[in-house]
Protein backbone atom coordinates (compact mmCIF):
# COMPACT_ATOMS: atom_id res chain seq x y z
CA UNK A 1 0.00 0.00 0.00
CA UNK A 2 1.24 3.49 -0.92
CA UNK A 3 0.04 6.46 1.17
CA UNK A 4 0.03 10.11 0.02
CA UNK A 5 -0.87 12.84 2.52
CA UNK A 6 -2.27 16.23 1.62
CA UNK A 7 -4.42 19.12 2.83
CA UNK A 8 -7.69 20.52 1.55
CA UNK A 9 -8.24 24.25 1.06
CA UNK A 10 -9.72 24.74 4.54
CA UNK A 11 -6.95 22.81 6.30
CA UNK A 12 -8.63 19.42 6.57
CA UNK A 13 -6.43 16.35 6.08
CA UNK A 14 -6.78 14.13 3.01
CA UNK A 15 -4.96 10.83 2.36
CA UNK A 16 -4.74 8.88 -0.92
CA UNK A 17 -4.23 5.10 -0.73
CA UNK A 18 -2.89 3.29 -3.77
CA UNK A 19 -1.75 -0.24 -4.44
CA UNK A 20 2.05 -0.54 -4.13
CA UNK A 21 3.94 0.75 -7.15
CA UNK A 22 1.67 3.73 -7.74
CA UNK A 23 3.48 7.05 -7.41
CA UNK A 24 1.31 10.05 -6.54
CA UNK A 25 1.93 13.69 -5.64
CA UNK A 26 -0.79 15.38 -3.59
CA UNK A 27 -2.40 18.05 -5.81
CA UNK A 28 -3.35 21.48 -4.53
CA UNK A 29 -7.01 22.08 -3.65
CA UNK A 30 -7.92 25.10 -5.78
CA UNK A 31 -11.20 25.91 -4.02
CA UNK A 32 -11.71 29.03 -1.93
CA UNK A 33 -13.09 27.46 1.25
CA UNK A 34 -13.53 29.24 4.56
CA UNK A 35 -12.06 27.58 7.63
CA UNK A 36 -14.68 25.65 9.57
CA UNK A 37 -15.07 25.53 13.34
CA UNK A 38 -17.48 22.74 14.30
CA UNK A 39 -19.49 23.33 17.46
CA UNK A 40 -20.03 19.68 18.44
CA UNK A 41 -20.96 19.19 22.06
CA UNK A 42 -21.40 16.08 24.18
CA UNK A 43 -24.32 15.86 26.60
CA UNK A 44 -24.91 13.02 29.06
CA UNK A 45 -28.43 11.57 29.41
CA UNK A 46 -29.03 11.25 33.18
CA UNK A 47 -31.66 8.52 32.62
CA UNK A 48 -29.39 6.10 30.74
CA UNK A 49 -25.85 7.39 31.17
CA UNK A 50 -25.48 7.54 27.37
CA UNK A 51 -23.50 10.36 25.79
CA UNK A 52 -25.33 12.25 23.01
CA UNK A 53 -23.55 14.35 20.39
CA UNK A 54 -25.19 17.68 19.56
CA UNK A 55 -23.88 18.94 16.20
CA UNK A 56 -26.28 21.52 14.80
CA UNK A 57 -23.86 22.56 12.00
CA UNK A 58 -24.63 19.22 10.28
CA UNK A 59 -28.05 20.54 9.23
CA UNK A 60 -26.37 22.26 6.27
CA UNK A 61 -24.53 19.17 4.97
CA UNK A 62 -24.81 18.17 1.32
CA UNK A 63 -28.02 16.28 0.50
CA UNK A 64 -28.55 14.09 -2.59
CA UNK A 65 -26.59 16.10 -5.19
CA UNK A 66 -26.70 15.17 -8.86
CA UNK A 67 -23.93 12.97 -10.25
CA UNK A 68 -22.41 15.99 -12.02
CA UNK A 69 -22.04 17.78 -8.67
CA UNK A 70 -21.01 14.86 -6.50
CA UNK A 71 -18.48 16.03 -3.88
CA UNK A 72 -16.86 12.56 -3.74
CA UNK A 73 -16.08 12.19 -7.45
CA UNK A 74 -12.63 13.28 -8.68
CA UNK A 75 -12.26 16.95 -9.56
CA UNK A 76 -12.60 17.85 -13.25
CA UNK A 77 -12.76 20.90 -15.48
CA UNK A 78 -15.67 23.02 -14.28
CA UNK A 79 -16.18 21.07 -11.05
CA UNK A 80 -13.88 21.04 -8.02
CA UNK A 81 -14.87 18.39 -5.51
CA UNK A 82 -13.63 17.29 -2.10
CA UNK A 83 -11.01 15.20 -3.93
CA UNK A 84 -8.58 17.51 -5.80
CA UNK A 85 -7.17 14.78 -8.06
CA UNK A 86 -8.39 13.64 -11.48
CA UNK A 87 -8.57 10.01 -10.34
CA UNK A 88 -8.00 7.88 -7.26
CA UNK A 89 -8.18 4.32 -5.97
CA UNK A 90 -9.11 4.91 -2.31
CA UNK A 91 -9.11 8.29 -0.60
CA UNK A 92 -9.88 9.36 2.99
CA UNK A 93 -10.47 12.90 4.21
CA UNK A 94 -11.82 14.73 7.24
CA UNK A 95 -15.57 15.21 7.02
CA UNK A 96 -16.59 18.80 6.28
CA UNK A 97 -19.69 18.35 8.48
CA UNK A 98 -18.41 16.18 11.35
CA UNK A 99 -20.27 14.89 14.39
CA UNK A 100 -16.96 15.12 16.28
CA UNK A 101 -13.82 17.07 15.49
CA UNK A 102 -10.43 17.82 17.00
CA UNK A 103 -11.25 21.43 16.05
CA UNK A 104 -14.52 21.59 18.02
CA UNK A 105 -14.86 24.71 20.09
CA UNK A 106 -14.77 24.23 23.87
CA UNK A 107 -18.27 23.78 25.24
CA UNK A 108 -19.49 25.82 28.20
CA UNK A 109 -18.76 23.63 31.20
CA UNK A 110 -21.91 22.36 32.86
CA UNK A 111 -21.48 19.93 35.74
CA UNK A 112 -24.58 19.13 37.74
CA UNK A 113 -26.16 15.73 38.54
CA UNK A 114 -28.64 16.32 35.70
CA UNK A 115 -26.57 18.24 33.17
CA UNK A 116 -23.07 17.14 32.16
CA UNK A 117 -21.41 18.42 28.98
CA UNK A 118 -18.05 18.28 27.22
CA UNK A 119 -16.65 19.31 23.85
CA UNK A 120 -17.17 16.84 20.97
CA UNK A 121 -13.44 16.31 20.54
CA UNK A 122 -13.12 13.36 18.19
CA UNK A 123 -12.75 12.84 14.46
CA UNK A 124 -15.01 11.98 11.53
CA UNK A 125 -13.59 10.89 8.18
CA UNK A 126 -15.04 9.98 4.78
CA UNK A 127 -13.66 6.91 2.97
CA UNK A 128 -14.22 6.90 -0.81
CA UNK A 129 -14.03 3.34 -2.17
CA UNK A 130 -13.21 4.38 -5.75
CA UNK A 131 -13.71 7.09 -8.35
CA UNK A 132 -16.59 5.33 -10.20
CA UNK A 133 -19.76 7.11 -9.08
CA UNK A 134 -22.06 4.26 -10.15
CA UNK A 135 -20.18 1.35 -8.56
CA UNK A 136 -20.72 -0.28 -5.18
CA UNK A 137 -18.43 -2.15 -2.81
CA UNK A 138 -19.73 -5.43 -4.24
CA UNK A 139 -18.45 -4.38 -7.69
CA UNK A 140 -14.85 -3.98 -6.54
CA UNK A 141 -11.99 -6.36 -7.26
CA UNK A 142 -10.44 -8.35 -4.37
CA UNK A 143 -7.34 -6.15 -4.72
CA UNK A 144 -9.39 -2.97 -4.22
CA UNK A 145 -11.32 -4.50 -1.30
CA UNK A 146 -7.99 -5.44 0.30
CA UNK A 147 -6.74 -1.87 -0.21
CA UNK A 148 -9.82 -0.51 1.57
CA UNK A 149 -9.21 -2.92 4.46
CA UNK A 150 -5.60 -1.68 4.63
CA UNK A 151 -6.86 1.92 4.67
CA UNK A 152 -9.31 1.12 7.51
CA UNK A 153 -6.45 -0.43 9.49
CA UNK A 154 -4.14 2.50 8.80
CA UNK A 155 -6.76 5.05 9.83
CA UNK A 156 -7.58 3.06 12.97
CA UNK A 157 -3.91 3.26 13.95
CA UNK A 158 -3.70 6.99 13.12
CA UNK A 159 -6.88 7.95 14.97
CA UNK A 160 -5.87 5.86 17.97
CA UNK A 161 -2.93 8.25 18.45
CA UNK A 162 -5.29 11.19 19.11
CA UNK A 163 -5.60 11.54 22.87
CA UNK A 164 -9.28 12.57 22.82
CA UNK A 165 -10.39 9.46 20.87
CA UNK A 166 -11.47 6.35 22.78
CA UNK A 167 -13.06 4.22 20.04
CA UNK A 168 -12.59 3.95 16.25
CA UNK A 169 -15.54 2.74 14.17
CA UNK A 170 -15.17 2.29 10.37
CA UNK A 171 -18.57 1.72 8.71
CA UNK A 172 -20.53 1.92 5.48
CA UNK A 173 -24.15 3.00 5.01
CA UNK A 174 -25.62 1.89 1.66
CA UNK A 175 -29.03 2.65 0.21
CA UNK A 176 -31.67 5.35 0.45
CA UNK A 177 -33.61 3.17 2.92
CA UNK A 178 -30.70 3.54 5.34
CA UNK A 179 -30.67 7.33 4.95
CA UNK A 180 -27.65 7.73 2.66
CA UNK A 181 -27.42 11.31 1.36
CA UNK A 182 -24.54 10.78 -1.12
CA UNK A 183 -24.84 8.02 -3.72
CA UNK A 184 -21.12 7.72 -4.47
CA UNK A 185 -19.69 4.48 -2.99
CA UNK A 186 -18.18 5.50 0.32
CA UNK A 187 -18.07 4.85 4.02
CA UNK A 188 -17.11 6.76 7.13
CA UNK A 189 -14.88 6.42 10.17
CA UNK A 190 -15.96 7.82 13.53
CA UNK A 191 -13.35 8.45 16.21
CA UNK A 192 -15.56 8.70 19.29
CA UNK A 193 -14.49 10.58 22.44
CA UNK A 194 -16.10 7.73 24.43
CA UNK A 195 -16.79 4.00 24.02
CA UNK A 196 -20.23 3.85 22.31
CA UNK A 197 -23.19 1.93 23.66
CA UNK A 198 -23.16 -1.24 21.52
CA UNK A 199 -19.42 -1.80 21.84
CA UNK A 200 -19.57 -1.11 25.57
CA UNK A 201 -22.37 -3.66 26.12
CA UNK A 202 -20.67 -6.35 24.04
CA UNK A 203 -17.38 -5.92 25.88
CA UNK A 204 -19.08 -5.89 29.29
CA UNK A 205 -20.78 -9.20 28.41
CA UNK A 206 -17.43 -10.65 27.28
CA UNK A 207 -15.73 -9.60 30.50
CA UNK A 208 -18.53 -11.09 32.64
CA UNK A 209 -18.41 -14.33 30.61
CA UNK A 210 -14.63 -14.61 31.05
CA UNK A 211 -14.93 -14.06 34.80
CA UNK A 212 -17.56 -16.81 35.09
CA UNK A 213 -16.32 -19.38 32.55
CA UNK A 214 -12.65 -18.56 32.05
CA UNK A 215 -13.06 -18.42 28.26
CA UNK A 216 -13.53 -15.80 25.58
CA UNK A 217 -17.20 -15.18 24.75
CA UNK A 218 -16.59 -14.31 21.11
CA UNK A 219 -14.45 -17.40 20.57
CA UNK A 220 -17.11 -19.64 22.13
CA UNK A 221 -19.79 -18.08 19.91
CA UNK A 222 -17.69 -18.83 16.82
CA UNK A 223 -17.18 -22.47 17.85
CA UNK A 224 -20.87 -22.87 18.68
CA UNK A 225 -21.94 -21.54 15.27
CA UNK A 226 -19.40 -23.78 13.49
CA UNK A 227 -20.71 -26.88 15.30
CA UNK A 228 -24.37 -25.98 14.70
CA UNK A 229 -23.90 -24.83 11.09
CA UNK A 230 -27.56 -23.83 10.61
CA UNK A 231 -26.81 -20.10 10.60
CA UNK A 232 -23.41 -20.17 8.86
CA UNK A 233 -23.42 -18.53 5.42
CA UNK A 234 -19.77 -18.91 4.39
CA UNK A 235 -16.46 -19.99 5.87
CA UNK A 236 -12.87 -19.80 4.65
CA UNK A 237 -9.52 -20.72 6.17
CA UNK A 238 -9.43 -17.40 8.04
CA UNK A 239 -13.02 -16.08 8.39
CA UNK A 240 -16.58 -17.14 9.15
CA UNK A 241 -19.86 -15.34 8.36
CA UNK A 242 -23.09 -16.27 10.16
CA UNK A 243 -26.43 -14.94 11.36
CA UNK A 244 -26.51 -14.61 15.18
CA UNK A 245 -28.78 -16.98 17.11
CA UNK A 246 -30.72 -13.99 18.48
CA UNK A 247 -30.68 -11.72 15.42
CA UNK A 248 -32.39 -8.37 15.94
CA UNK A 249 -32.54 -7.09 12.36
CA UNK A 250 -34.32 -8.71 9.39
CA UNK A 251 -30.82 -9.29 8.00
CA UNK A 252 -27.99 -9.39 10.53
CA UNK A 253 -24.67 -11.01 9.65
CA UNK A 254 -21.54 -11.20 11.79
CA UNK A 255 -18.13 -11.81 10.21
CA UNK A 256 -15.26 -12.98 12.44
CA UNK A 257 -11.62 -13.89 11.90
CA UNK A 258 -11.11 -17.45 13.15
CA UNK A 259 -7.82 -16.41 14.74
CA UNK A 260 -8.36 -13.76 17.40
CA UNK A 261 -7.14 -10.22 16.86
CA UNK A 262 -8.37 -7.21 18.81
CA UNK A 263 -8.49 -4.59 16.07
CA UNK A 264 -7.92 -3.98 12.39
CA UNK A 265 -4.20 -3.10 12.61
CA UNK A 266 -3.53 -6.55 14.15
CA UNK A 267 -4.80 -8.43 11.06
CA UNK A 268 -1.96 -10.23 9.26
CA UNK A 269 -1.47 -10.64 5.51
CA UNK A 270 -3.35 -13.96 5.24
CA UNK A 271 -6.35 -12.58 7.15
CA UNK A 272 -6.49 -9.43 5.04
CA UNK A 273 -6.29 -11.28 1.72
CA UNK A 274 -8.90 -13.82 2.78
CA UNK A 275 -11.34 -11.22 4.07
CA UNK A 276 -11.49 -9.45 0.72
CA UNK A 277 -12.70 -12.62 -1.04
CA UNK A 278 -15.21 -13.63 1.65
CA UNK A 279 -16.69 -10.15 1.99
CA UNK A 280 -17.19 -9.67 -1.74
CA UNK A 281 -18.85 -13.09 -1.92
CA UNK A 282 -21.14 -12.13 0.98
CA UNK A 283 -22.15 -8.79 -0.59
CA UNK A 284 -22.86 -10.55 -3.87
CA UNK A 285 -25.22 -12.97 -2.11
CA UNK A 286 -27.03 -10.08 -0.44
CA UNK A 287 -27.53 -8.31 -3.77
CA UNK A 288 -29.05 -11.47 -5.25
CA UNK A 289 -31.44 -11.89 -2.34
CA UNK A 290 -34.07 -9.54 -3.82
CA UNK A 291 -34.66 -7.82 -7.14
CA UNK A 292 -33.06 -4.59 -5.85
CA UNK A 293 -29.65 -4.26 -4.15
CA UNK A 294 -29.90 -4.77 -0.40
CA UNK A 295 -29.52 -1.61 1.72
CA UNK A 296 -27.25 -2.17 4.69
CA UNK A 297 -25.10 -0.80 7.48
CA UNK A 298 -21.75 -2.57 7.78
CA UNK A 299 -19.39 -1.66 10.61
CA UNK A 300 -16.36 -2.95 12.50
CA UNK A 301 -16.57 -3.74 16.20
CA UNK A 302 -13.05 -3.62 17.56
CA UNK A 303 -11.20 -3.05 20.82
CA UNK A 304 -11.36 0.43 22.32
CA UNK A 305 -8.19 2.48 22.07
CA UNK A 306 -7.15 2.31 25.74
CA UNK A 307 -9.55 0.30 27.88
CA UNK A 308 -11.48 -3.01 27.86
CA UNK A 309 -9.10 -4.57 25.31
CA UNK A 310 -8.45 -7.88 27.12
CA UNK A 311 -11.49 -9.80 25.84
CA UNK A 312 -12.10 -7.91 22.56
CA UNK A 313 -12.33 -9.89 19.29
CA UNK A 314 -12.49 -7.91 16.06
CA UNK A 315 -15.62 -8.59 14.01
CA UNK A 316 -17.83 -6.95 11.41
CA UNK A 317 -21.58 -6.57 11.92
CA UNK A 318 -23.74 -6.10 8.80
CA UNK A 319 -27.36 -5.03 9.33
CA UNK A 320 -30.28 -4.39 6.97
CA UNK A 321 -33.87 -3.17 7.35
CA UNK A 322 -34.99 -5.06 4.20
CA UNK A 323 -37.45 -7.71 5.47
CA UNK A 324 -39.00 -8.85 2.19
CA UNK A 325 -39.28 -7.95 -1.48
CA UNK A 326 -40.17 -4.25 -1.60
CA UNK A 327 -40.59 -4.03 2.17
CA UNK A 328 -38.47 -2.57 4.97
CA UNK A 329 -38.75 -2.90 8.72
CA UNK A 330 -39.43 0.38 10.48
CA UNK A 331 -38.10 0.64 14.02
CA UNK A 332 -41.44 1.60 15.51
CA UNK A 333 -42.96 1.43 19.01
CA UNK A 334 -41.26 -1.57 20.59
CA UNK A 335 -37.81 -1.14 19.02
CA UNK A 336 -37.57 2.66 19.16
CA UNK A 337 -39.53 3.22 22.34
CA UNK A 338 -38.26 0.36 24.49
CA UNK A 339 -35.39 -1.30 22.65
CA UNK A 340 -37.53 -4.43 22.63
CA UNK A 341 -36.61 -6.06 19.32
CA UNK A 342 -38.99 -8.24 17.34
CA UNK A 343 -37.59 -10.15 14.35
CA UNK A 344 -40.20 -11.19 11.77
CA UNK A 345 -38.03 -13.97 10.32
CA UNK A 346 -36.06 -17.05 11.34
CA UNK A 347 -32.25 -16.60 11.11
CA UNK A 348 -31.86 -20.26 10.13
CA UNK A 349 -34.19 -19.89 7.14
CA UNK A 350 -32.44 -16.74 5.91
CA UNK A 351 -29.02 -18.40 6.31
CA UNK A 352 -30.17 -21.36 4.20
CA UNK A 353 -31.42 -19.02 1.51
CA UNK A 354 -28.18 -17.03 1.45
CA UNK A 355 -26.12 -20.22 1.23
CA UNK A 356 -28.19 -21.28 -1.77
CA UNK A 357 -27.31 -18.05 -3.59
Domains of the chain, residue spans = 2-196, 198-356
**pLDDT tens digits, one per residue of 140-161:** 999 999 999 999 999 999 999 9
**pLDDT tens digits, one per residue of 285-312:** 999 999 999 999 999 999 999 999 999 9
Q: Does the active-site annotation cover 186?
A: yes
Beta bridge partners of 90: 17
Q: Is 272 helix (H, G, I), strand (E, B) or coil?
A: helix
pTM above 0.85, yes or no: yes
Q: Do domains 2-196 and 198-356 have the same CATH topology?
A: yes
**CA 327, chain centre distance (Å):** 24
Beta bridge partners of 54: 41
Bridge pairing between strands 186-192 and 167-174? antiparallel
Q: How many Cα neighbours within 13 Å face the side chain of 105?
A: 9
* Residues of the chain by 3-state class (helix, strand, coil), percent to 5: 30, 25, 50
Q: Is 55 helix (H, G, I), strand (E, B) or coil?
A: coil
Distance CA 265, CA 268 (A): 8
- Listed as ranges, residues in the chain with pLDDT below 70 are 57, 59-64, 105-110
CATH architecture of 198-356: 2-Layer Sandwich (3.30)
Sign of CA dihedral 271, 240, 180, 44: negative
**Cβ proximity of 68 and 81 under 8 Å:** no
Q: For residue 306, what pLDDT is reported?
A: 96
Q: For residue 59, what pLDDT is reported?
A: 62
Q: Which of 186, 254, 308, 315 is catalytic?
A: 186
Distance CA 155, CA 264 (A): 9
Q: For residue 65, what pLDDT is reported?
A: 80
Q: For residue 102, what pLDDT is reported?
A: 87
Burial of 288 (0-12, 13-18, 19+ CB in 10 A): middle
Which H or E run includes 199? helix 197-213
Q: Is 153 helix (H, G, I), strand (E, B) or coil?
A: helix
DSSP per position, 205-267: HHHHHHHHHSS-HHHHHHHHHHHH-TTEEEE-SSEEEE--TT--SSEEEEEEESS--SSGGG-
State phi, psi for 64 to the nearest 5 degrees. 45, 60
Q: For residue 61, what pLDDT is reported?
A: 64
Q: For residue 224, what pLDDT is reported?
A: 98
Q: To the nearest whole number, what is the mean pLDDT of the chain? A: 93
Distance CA 93, CA 17 (A): 11
What CATH fold (topology level) applies to the domain 2-196? HIT family, subunit A (3.30.428)
Amino acid sequence: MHRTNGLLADGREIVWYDIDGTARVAPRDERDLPSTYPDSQMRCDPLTGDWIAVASHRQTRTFMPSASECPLCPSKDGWLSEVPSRDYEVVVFENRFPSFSTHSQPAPTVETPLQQTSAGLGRCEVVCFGSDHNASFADLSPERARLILDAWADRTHALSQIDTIEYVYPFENRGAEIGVTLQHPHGQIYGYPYVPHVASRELASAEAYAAEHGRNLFGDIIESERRDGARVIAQTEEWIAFLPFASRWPIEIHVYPLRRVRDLPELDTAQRDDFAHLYLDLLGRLDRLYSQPTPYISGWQQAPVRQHREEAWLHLELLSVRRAEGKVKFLAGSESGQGGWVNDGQPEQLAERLRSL
